Amino acid sequence: MAKKIDYKSMYTFRSDGRYMGHWHDNNRVRHSAYDRDPEALNAMLLSEKRKECPVSTQPL
């Protein structure tokens, strides 16, 4: 049986009832995102990271 992910523990819970997460773009600028549902916040952050930081095919 697969282990269920605890999205609530991954993000900061604010006093207004929303969860807060962050991501950094290619210019190292920090962006914040907020949502009342931690699972929806996780999906939003993953989609933003994919848009801002596409996977590079060039070697390091």
* Per-residue pLDDT tens digits of the chain, which is 60 residues long: 788 889 999 999 999 999 999 888 778 888 888 999 999 999 988 887 666 655 555 554
Q: b/e for 2-12, b at 16 or more Cβ within 10 A?
A: eeeeebeeebe
Bridge partners, residue 50, by sequence: none
pLDDT of residue 12: 93
pLDDT of amino acid 53:
56
Q: What does residue 54 show for φ and ψ, rounded to 5 degrees?
A: -65, 155
